[in-house]
Structure 1
Amino acid sequence: MSESNRSRMMRSRQRAATVAITTILVGGAGGAAVTGASLLSAEPVLTRPAGPVPVETMTVAMQPGYSVLRQFTGQIEAAMQVSAGFELSGRITHVLADEGETVAPGQPLARLDTSALIPEDAALRAERAAAEADAELARLTLSRNDALTARGFRSVAAQDEARLTLARAEARIAAIEAQIASVAVRLDKSLLTAPFAARIGSRLVEPGQTISAGQPVLMLLDTAPPRLRVGLPPDLATTLSPGDRVRVAVDGTELPATVRHLRPDLDADTRSRAVVLTVDAPALPGQTARLILSQQIDEPGFWAPLSALREGVRGSWSVMALEPTPDGDRTVPVAIEVIHTDGARVFLRGMLPEGGRILGRAPDRVAPGQTVLAVGG
């Protein structure tokens, strides 16, 4: 085959391939157009609309007020606390009680040195005996003078002298007896005894120590039920009366208590009124305790769960109320005022009627004006 014939054959083949490719492309485009037209001409598929959102509701129950649990801190005190000491100065010879011991009324607690009082008492008794002898002599002399005067052998002046001598002797005896009694009192006061049933709180002196009059020797704590002193606001204190039963908390344990009395004045620093209570259970003086009181607040409103609140602008709050419509319950936002909360619940005030219904949970997922399906309430 010549070179010219070979070239003509190659050009014929290229023209045939070009025509085939063009035919394929035109046919594909036509098929796509037909398919698109059929899709556009088909009827649209309608989706089923979603039903009302189920929501948890509650009924508004108006209340005339609410109660607040308030706690006030105070300190446990002994029913009576006394710093026991001697009325006399002197040297301590014995301390007969130690810290923590329980003592009975009249039980000896400590002694002073009385060695100087014993000879003084003996000397006074001897002096009284001498004075009594002088008085007896004066009495006999007066008796004889009375007899002699009656017979005219003694003058009236001698009789008066005998009478006055007897009077001086008797006065001297009375003075000596008063001194003996004084020594007896000092001997008695040299022994310190418990004035009431008590526990020894602290021991402040030791044997051999010289003390002055009135210096504390032992701290005595009454064994009677302890007391709690608490400062209350004046308006709240007036709600309590002696004999009322209340609750106190000591170290996390609630104990019964009884109101003993209320102070008639206000504390100058805290402007509170002190209330003293008797704790009807063991407690240690010095412990911190809390008085638990329930205070009634006369403020109309209603209780709702915390989850019912919907936060608004600038710190405002609202709830979603339900309004009946022919299509179902529709949500309507209602502004409210939060009066009080106890953690899980809130006490609210707003323009809601008695028996009205509001959303009790998750109001943020429900838009105002949305139709909902009420559950509960």
Structure 2
Amino acid sequence: MAAHESSRFRKALRRAMTPLVTILVFGIAGATGLAGYAMIARQGGESDGQQAPLTPVGVMRVAPSDGYTITRRFTGQVEAATRADLGFEFGGRITELLVGEGDLVTEGSILARLDISALLPERAALEAELAALQADAELARLTLARNDSLTERGFRSVAAQDEARLRLVRLEAGMAALRARIAGVDVRLEKSVLRAPFAARIGQRLADPGQTVAGGQPVLVLFDAAPPKARVGLPAQIAARLRVGDRLQVDIGGTVQVAQLIQIRPDLDPGTRSRSVILGLPGEKAAVLGDTVALLVAQQVAEPGFWAPLGALREGARGSWSVMAVETTADGDRTLPAAVEVIHTDGARVYLRGLLPAGGRIVAEAPARVTPGQIILAQAE
């Protein structure tokens, strides 16, 4: 009986304690929340008194321009000042070829020789014939002198005297013909030696010793040792603005040098409809014959706008572009977008057209770092 009463007492005690414990838990939770809220409110009140630091941004002032200058490149080719395809005037077998490709030769240097073994006996035979005619002519002179003496004394007829005189004339004409033939052989002997017509560098060698060549057949290609020239095709309207003697910039192997305009062709190329100009290249850096060069021609374009760094552009929707302009307000320098149109670029800069006031300012680099309407710390660039 006592045990039963004790169990009933414990149950009644648990029923009485449960609401008290619940009230105590909720009370502790509420007190904790109030304390946290007060702490946050206190920290917020402290932070309201401090201003966030401004973002430093590079800003530049745009300068309006009436136009811009572009540099156009026109490709040409390096040529020798003079090129000559040399060959013998008379055919024959080459006995000597004294130069190789790439050799430098001076004017008058012997380059090659032909076989003259057939010319020497021919010349000797002609000289022998000439000597025989000279002997006959001497005899004819003596005969003519005797006939003149006999005719004066009446012992010789006039006809015999005329015959002796005409025989001497025929012999003298024969000797003149032989001398001309000997001179012809001498010319062929001289032409059997190939000489350099000017100081040059040997280009291509088209024949070898022992080879038989025809008259006029090229044996060697010579390039003038003088500084080379360049041939460039230009549009007719640009070539018309140039004058012989102008100094122009050319790009040779990545190095920009100054060349002089020495000739302007008067005709148009029927294929390209361009007009060729000839440039004398400087000798400081030897250009390789056949290499390409670029003639740099500056051209002014009349178009109002302003220059800006390439990094100042912001890409918008559907291919549109803008820059981040900077305006002065009571709160400080504030950013706002401004639509622009890209007219020209030279790689690092862009030429823009847009509704910016004269002397306006823009964010020079990385405009994506700031947002429209943001107050910034402008730093001049």
Task: Bin the TM-score by the shorter chain.
Answer: 0.7 to 0.9
**2:277 match: secondary structure:** strand
Give yes or no for the alignment of 1:338 onto 2:335. Answer: no
Q: How far apart are 1:247 and its partner, in Å?
A: 4.5
For 1:295-319, what per-residue CA distance to the aligned partner results, in whole angstroms no more than 9, with x for missing partners?
2332332211112112122211112
Secondary structure of 1:358's aligned partner? strand
In structure 1, what is the equivalent of residue 81 of structure 2?
79
TM-score (norm 2): 0.82
For each residue in 1:290-342, what CA deviation from the matched residue of structure 2 results, as whole angstroms up to 9, or x when unmatched? 33525233233221111211212221111222333444444343222212222
Offset from partner CA, 1:199-242 (integer Å, 9 cap, x none): 32333333322221112222223222223333334444445444
Shift in alpha-carbon separation, 1:96–1:53, aligned structure 2, 3 A: closer
Shift of 1:86: 0.8
Determine the C-alpha separation between the residues in 1 that align with 2:28 and 2:186. 139
SS in 2 for 1:18: helix
* Aligned residue number for residue 322 of structure 1: 326
- What corresponds to 2:18 in structure 1? 21
How big is the alpha-carbon RMSD for the aligned residues of Structure 1 and Structure 2?
3.5
Distance in 1 of aligned mates of 2:91 and 2:41: 120
Change beyond 3 A, Cα 1:33–1:79: closer
The whole-number CA distance in structure 1 between the counterparts of 2:103 and 2:21 is 118
Counting aligned pairs with the same residue, the percent is 55
The 8 Å contact of residues 91 and 211 in structure 1, kept in 2 or not, is answered as yes
Shift of residue 76 of structure 1?
Answer: 3.1
Give, in whole Å, the separation in 2 of the partners of 1:372 and 1:97: 76
Corresponding letter in the other structure for 1:8: E
Q: Is the 8 A contact 2:249 2:297 kept in 1?
A: no
Question: Out of 226, 234, 242, which is 1:224 matched to?
Answer: 226
Q: Structure 1 residue aligned with 2:293, among 290, 294, 297?
A: 290
2:170 aligned counterpart, secondary structure: helix
Report the TM-score, using the length of structure 1 for normalisation.
0.82
Change (3 A) 1:186 1:238: same
2:221 match: secondary structure: strand
Letter in 2 for 1:362: A
Residues 58-207 of structure 1 correspond to what in structure 2 (within 5 A)?
A: 58-139=60-141, 160-207=162-209
Query: What are the Cα deviations for residues 23-77 of structure 1, in whole angstroms up to 9, with x where unaligned?
Result: 332455467678879979x989553565765432111112343333444444433
Say whether the 8 Å CA contact 2:75–2:295 is kept in structure 1: no
Which secondary structure does the structure 2 equivalent of 1:182 belong to? helix
**Paired position in structure 2 for 1:267:** 269
**Residue-pair matches, total:** 373
In 2, the alpha carbon distance for the partners of 1:285 and 1:76 equals 7
- The answer (yes or no) to whether the contact 2:126–2:182 under 8 Å persists in 1 is yes
- SS across alignment from 1:94: strand
Of 162-171 and 106-115, more deviation after overlay is shown by 162-171
Could you say which residue in structure 1 is the equivalent of 2:361? Answer: 357
Q: Distance in 2 between matches of 1:218 and 1:33?
A: 109
Tell me the distance in 2 between the aligned counterparts of 1:43 and 1:227. 84
| Deviation, structure 1 residue 91 | 1.5
In structure 2, what is the Cα distance between the partners aligned to 1:43 and 1:104? 100
**Range 84-93 or range 280-289, more displaced:** 280-289
> Alpha-carbon deviation of 1:136?
4.3
Aligned mates of 2:324, 2:242 — CA distance in 1: 41
